[in-house]
């Protein structure tokens, strides 16, 4: 293992632990991957993050091949398929945060109730229909929900965020959970007002010049 691979593996472990630390995941349910050379590095199956080290991270080829003594996350298919089909993405985060998952349990998309939805690429966050975890069917549905987007919900399951880096993917995951929480609270208060597609389209364009597209993602200026 060379230095670059060691650093990449350490970044996967750090991202997986960050999911837990930020309350986006618990136990062994989430998974993280990063593009690496002609394949990807992904968290192992069924291993708690506090016990996962760089050597436990699994190197996966685009054909699904991996070292015989290691087992990748059960969700390796959609990680592989997202990275293979979307060259702009270099990392994928999957988790089961409370508010994202609650809306996913209801099969609900998230509408443009806040302009920050533009950070996800458009006026909605789609919810992919249900399919069993780890299946090619789920991967196909996730890819469809991610068209022109960098996040989606998975019905009765959780969420996916993909970005140009692990840091960006994690940032998007936090933003999505925050938006879902705000939307849930707003619905308890009253009827949220949905912004127009034109307004969100204009905001998407404004976001292109902010830190969202830098190597170190930061939130755009807000008011």
Cα–Cα distance for residue pair 155/202, rounded to 1 Å: 29
Structural contact between residues 15 and 73, judged by C-beta atoms closer than 8 angstroms: no
Structure tokens belonging to residue 46 = 């069924």
Structural contact between residues 158 and 94, judged by C-beta atoms closer than 8 angstroms: yes
Cα–Cα distance for residue pair 182/8, rounded to 1 Å: 34
In the set 5, 75, 167, 205, the catalytic residue is 75
Cα–Cα distance for residue pair 59/165, rounded to 1 Å: 17
221 is catalytic: no
Q: What is the DSSP letter of 36?
A: E
Cα–Cα distance for residue pair 50/53, rounded to 1 Å: 8
Closest CA to 184 of 93, 116, 113, 118: 113
Q: What is the DSSP letter of 185?
A: H
Cα–Cα distance for residue pair 169/34, rounded to 1 Å: 10
Q: Which residues are catalytic?
A: 75
């Amino acid at each position: 293992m060379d230095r670059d691979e060691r650093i990449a593996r350490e970044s996967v472990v750090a991202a997986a632990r960050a999911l837990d630390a930020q309350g986006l995941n618990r136990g062994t349910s989430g998974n993280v991957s990063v593009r690496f050379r002609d394949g990807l590095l992904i968290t192992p199956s069924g291993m708690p993050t506090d016990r996962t080290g760089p050597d436990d991270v699994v190197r996966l080829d685009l054909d699904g091949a991996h070292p015989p003594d290691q087992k990748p996350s059960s969700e390796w298919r959609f990680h592989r398929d997202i990275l293979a089909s979307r060259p702009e993405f270099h990392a994928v985060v999957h988790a089961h945060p409370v508010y994202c998952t609650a809306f996913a349990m209801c099969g609900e998309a998230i509408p443009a109730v806040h302009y920050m939805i533009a950070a996800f690429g458009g006026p909605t966050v789609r919810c992919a229909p249900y399919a069993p975890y780890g299946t090619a069917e789920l991967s196909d549905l996730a890819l469809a929900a991610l068209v022109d987007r960098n996040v989606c919900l998975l019905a009765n399951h959780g969420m996916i965020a993909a970005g140009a880096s692990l840091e960006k993917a994690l940032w998007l995951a936090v933003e999505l959970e925050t938006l879902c929480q705000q939307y849930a609270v707003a619905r308890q208060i009253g009827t949220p007002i949905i912004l127009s597609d034109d307004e969100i389209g204009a905001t998407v364009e404004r976001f292109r010049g902010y830190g969202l597209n830098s190597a170190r993602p930061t939130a755009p200026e807000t008011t």
